[in-house]
């Protein structure tokens, strides 16, 4: 079993534990905050940043306690982040839907639910808790699931960040005519990072698609390299939560 398979197994178990009747979830959905469009903010004169609220990871273990995710999100927003990413996976990343709801109420920019979306229920759940964007990991989905989930997210008003790591996954992603594609330099099956993925795949994405470089970015020089390959945005978590000064770190990554 790969690392990705193991994570998904845990996600399904946790989902089964917390699942409530759809009618009850729809009540919460009816009272969810209005969707904030994420697309416009991910293009600009400077590199855009999806800044992540991230306590832990399977590859690095504990990163930061983050006792107040709302306050951290406010700092990200004040430093110029375009989107706040919130980990909601519980076992490996120590996140929660409560974090998502807290962050949504603390900021006025779009919020991404960062999780392993493998069940239709999770999309209603994401919107009910305030998500404006969801993550769809091509490596975790069949072509049929990818298309269905993308359409479902769109119908609920949410944007989708389509994440790929290989040329084959990028080809699969392009079949659904996505608006945002993320190149993850981390292989989720092994957790190894290879930033050559940026050089290989970012230039292959059409210019009308928002291109995001994900994972392994901690220095301005790495941001500049991703930009040269065509990145419109970066997704950063570890470098921010470990820095001790997320505002300054985020601004440095943007070149300010």
Percentages helix, strand, coil for the chain (3-state, rounded to 5) are 45, 20, 40
CA distance 107 to 236: 18
28 is catalytic: no
94 is catalytic: no
125 is catalytic: no
User: Considering 64, 114, 187, 222, which one is annotated as catalytic?
Assistant: 114
User: Considering 163, 222, 227, 238, which one is annotated as catalytic?
Assistant: 163
- Do residues 67 and 251 make contact, with C-beta atoms less than 8 angstroms apart? no
Residue 113 to residues 84, 98, 166, 248: CA-CA distances in angstroms? 9, 11, 23, 24
Residue 246: strand, helix, or coil: helix
196 is catalytic: no
User: Considering 56, 185, 187, 215, which one is annotated as catalytic?
Assistant: 215
CA distance 217 to 159: 23
CA distance 69 to 65: 10
54 is catalytic: yes
User: Considering 90, 101, 169, 214, which one is annotated as catalytic?
Assistant: 214
User: Considering 96, 184, 185, 187, which one is annotated as catalytic?
Assistant: 184
Q: Give the catalytic positions in this structure.
A: 52, 54, 114, 163, 184, 214-215
């Amino acid at each position: 079993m790969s690392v990705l398979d193991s994570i998904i197994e845990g996600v399904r178990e946790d989902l089964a534990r917390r699942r409530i009747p759809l009618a009850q979830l729809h009540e919460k959905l009816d009272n969810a905050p209005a969707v904030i469009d994420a697309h416009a903010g991910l293009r600009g004169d400077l590199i855009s940043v999806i800044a992540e609220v991230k306590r832990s990871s399977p590859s690095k273990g504990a990163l930061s306690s983050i006792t107040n995710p709302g306050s951290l999100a406010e700092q990200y927003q004040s430093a110029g982040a375009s989107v706040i990413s919130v980990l909601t996976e519980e076992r490996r990343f120590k996140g929660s839907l409560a974090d998502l709801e807290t962050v949504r109420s603390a900021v006025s920019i779009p919020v991404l639910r960062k999780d392993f979306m493998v069940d239709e229920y999770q999309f209603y759940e994401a919107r009910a808790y305030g998500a404006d964007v969801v993550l769809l990991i091509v490596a975790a989905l069949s072509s049929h699931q990818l298309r269905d989930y993308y359409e479902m997210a769109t119908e609920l008003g949410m944007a989708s960040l389509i994440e790929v790591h290989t040329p084959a996954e990028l080809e699969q992603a392009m079949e659904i005519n996505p608006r945002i594609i993320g190149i993850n330099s981390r292989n989720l099956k092994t957790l190894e990072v290879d930033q050559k993925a940026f050089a290989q795949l970012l230039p292959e994405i059409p210019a009308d698609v928002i291109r995001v470089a994900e994972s392994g970015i901690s220095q301005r020089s790495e941001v500049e390299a991703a930009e040269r390959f065509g990145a419109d945005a970066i997704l950063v978590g570890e470098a921010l939560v470990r820095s001790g000064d997320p505002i300054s770190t985020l601004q440095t990554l943007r070149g300010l």
